Amino acid sequence: MAERTLAIIKPDAVAAGVAGEIIAHIQRAGFRIVGMKLVRMSADQAGAFYAVHRERPFYAELVRFMSSGPVIPMVLEKDNAVADFRTLIGATDPAEAAEGTIRKRFARSKGENAIHGSDSPENARAEIAFFFAESELVG
């Protein structure tokens, strides 16, 4: 059965004009987009989304970054979607990301790393619900 995961094309990639290339990369990898929108998160929304990192030293910078410009949240569907998408996006630090991954190709730095992907099926469900009502998803 198909699994769902959340992807977010981050402000750096949207501003650089590479969102379309990233979406094409995702689709070529066999993911089906069942929800997508362009939004600008407020600092409060970004803080709530990344609340799990609240105690981490990079939290404030992450919130600032994610609320600095438009982002594109997407719900992706595929067998083994969470794990396969994590492989597709690559390591958080693009210098450590494998060739052919989204972050290797499009990320500028560990902080401005082009894309977010859910890290577990449980988190995927919660993250999808953060951005999308079930009625906004197709299929």
pLDDT at position 81 is: 98
Q: How far is CA 1 from CA 79, 81, 99, in A?
A: 6, 10, 29
Distance CA 52, CA 48 (A): 8
pLDDT at position 54 is: 94
Q: How far apart are the first and last CA of the chain?
A: 13
Active-site residue 53, yes or no? no
Strands (E), the chain: 3-9, 32-36, 72-78, 115-117
Tens-digit pLDDT profile for residues 73-94: 999 999 999 999 999 999 999 9
Tens-digit pLDDT profile for residues 39-69: 999 999 999 999 999 999 999 999 999 999 9
What domains are defined for the chain? 3-40+71-136 (3.30.70.141)
pLDDT at position 139 is: 77
Catalytic residue among 116, 124, 128, 131: 116
pLDDT at position 53 is: 92
As given in the structure block, the two tokens for residue 55 are 């105690």
The predicted model gives 131-137 an average pLDDT of 97
